[in-house]
Amino acid sequence: MARPTEAQRIEQANEEAALVFFREALSSLPDPRRRQGIRYPLASVAVIALMAMVCGADNAEEMQDWGEANAEWLDGILELPHGTPTQDVFLSVFAALDPAAFRSVFLSWMELLRFRLRVLDKHIAVDGKTSRRSFDTATGRLAIHTVSAWLSDEGLVLGQLKTADKSNEITAIPELLRVIDLRGATVTIDAMGCQTQIARTIIQGAGHYLLAVKDNQPALHRDVVATFAEATDERVRSIDEHPRPAIERFEETDKGHGRIEKRTVELCRDLGWMMTAERWAGLGYLVKVTRERTVLSTDKSSTETAYYIGSDACVTASRVAHHIRRHWAIESELHWVLDMAFREDEARHRARHLAQNFTTLRHFCLNLLKRCPDRRVGIAATRKRAGWDHDYLLRILTSEAG
């Protein structure tokens, strides 16, 4: 019998590393099935689902097809006494799997992959997304809405949580933030997340907040608007009046998409005009952002103003501008990618916990693809290459595990 070549030994070592890695990552996942009659080990089902999705399979039928096409190779690295799973197996397992337990494995997996990054001075954007086709009219089930925490500088999902059927992001965001390491990070949230409890949760986690302020907090909104109005009031003040608030400014101009946009960020650390300051844990500054847009084709201009509150007393106006601008990366780099590369809005996963667990599975895949060290093309093209090349797939799955 011929001895294996060096290349064959390296390939075998990679496959063994992948198997050990997956077993460790999935060891804490409880199997929801009855012990009698189990034909497919839970770890094997989950690993094949993950591999198949990395390679472009977006639903259970495609996972079955991918597994059958790679059955001989999979049989060498996974326990498959009855062959590769069918689509019914994938559907039944992920419908029954406890979403909280699967999310916990997701966080553990990130740690095994050394995704547990130091978030000092990092930016975490928090936002929600609805899986539009996950509703079920027959049973009255609403489409699931998931809140995600996005580490914008690294392009990674730190965690996600489904909102309660009759609740909203206000209750889900604190739960999500409590399981994330916030130390030294700045968390940005839109006006829905401008809540005293959410601000307190971030401060308790040793992080900083930067929250959009709108009319859902009318007293706070009036205070912030009044403070900046006082800052621009040029009247001569009497000696016993509170002095005019000092303002730090930062301006930047961008040209693109047929328009020019000038953004002026004004930062005020003087909270003396605030009647509601004591309600907001750690409040350190107020922000006013003025955006002036000019459409080049028509030469028409428009102006809009937005307000924010923040807690980092040492932050600069330019850094605040960066955080506000990068907050919307969660739309273009996470939500848009999930819709376009993973076809999430077309997914019709409805039974029990299927939609939640497939959302977690997509986040697994996206993080792995984002962290691939030699990725030179977009997510969709990278998924295709992984489907064509087993070695490349293993590099995606284990590149950060060693």
pLDDT at 263 over 90: yes
Q: Which of 328, 361, 383 is the last residue of a domain?
A: 328
The total of other beta-carbon atoms located within 10 Å of residue 312's CB is 19
* Domain boundary residue, one of 273, 293, 328: 328
pLDDT > 90: percent of the chain: 39
Residue 193 within any structural domain of the chain? no
User: Is 199 domain-assigned?
Assistant: no
The sign one gets for the Cα dihedral 93, 94, 96, 99 is: positive
Q: Is residue 43 part of a domain?
A: yes
Is residue 20 predicted with pLDDT exceeding 80?
no
Answer yes or no: do 288 and 380 share one domain: no
Of 74-83, 269-278, 327-336, give the lowest mean pLDDT range.
327-336
Shared-domain flag, residues 381 and 289? no
User: Order of strands across the sheet with 248-256?
Assistant: 156-162, 145-151, 123-130, 186-189, 208-213, 300-310, 285-295, 259-268, 248-256
Residues 24 and 89 in one domain: yes
Same domain, residue pair 27 and 85:
yes
Is 305 among the domain residues? yes
The answer to whether the beta carbons of residues 391 and 11 sit under 8 Å apart is yes
Q: Are residues 294 and 388 in the same domain?
A: no
> Which pLDDT value is given to residue 399?
64
The tens digit of pLDDT for each residue in 147-185 reads: 888 888 888 888 778 776 445 778 889 988 998 888 899
Please tell me which residue, 354 or 110, carries the higher pLDDT value: 354
Q: Please state the pTM of the whole predicted model.
A: 0.79
| Distance, CA of 195 to CA of 193 (rounded, Å) | 6
Q: Which pair of tokens denotes residue 400?
A: 């950060």
pLDDT of residue 222: 95
Q: Does residue 230 have a pLDDT over 50? A: yes
* Same-domain check for residues 310 and 387: no
Portion of the chain with pLDDT greater than 70, in percent: 80
Residues 15 and 70 in one domain: yes
Give the best-scoring range by mean pLDDT among 42-51, 119-128, 159-168.
42-51
Task: State residue 398's pLDDT score.
Answer: 73
Q: Is residue 315 part of a domain?
A: yes
For the cut 70, the answer to whether the pLDDT of residue 16 exceeds it is no
State residue 264's pLDDT score.
95
Helix (H) / strand (E) containing 161 = strand 156-162
Residues 328-339, mean pLDDT to the nearest whole number: 80
Domain of 311 in residue numbering reads as: 218-233+245-328
Same domain, 321 and 380: no
Report which of residues 75 and 211 the model is more confident about. 211
303 with 222, same domain? yes
Domain assignment present for residue 336? The answer is no
Mean pLDDT score, 54-59: 92
Q: Answer yes or no: is pLDDT of 113 > 90.
A: no
Identify the band that residue 284 occupies on the pLDDT scale cut at 50, 70 and 90: very high
Helix axes 60-69, 42-54, angle to 10 degrees: 90
State the Cα–Cα distance between residues 93 and 360, nearest whole angstrom. Answer: 14
Same domain for 253 and 323: yes
| Total count of domains within the chain | 2
Does some domain include residue 179? Answer: no
Q: Show which of 328, 355, 389 is a domain's final residue.
A: 328
Please indicate, yes or no, if residue 160 is contained in any of the structural domains: no
Check residue 204 and give its pLDDT: 96
Q: How confident is residue 2, by pLDDT bands cut at 50, 70 and 90?
A: low
CB 94 within 8 A of CB 354: yes
Residues 320 and 228 in one domain: yes
**In a shared domain, residues 223 and 323:** yes
3-state secondary structure of 138: coil
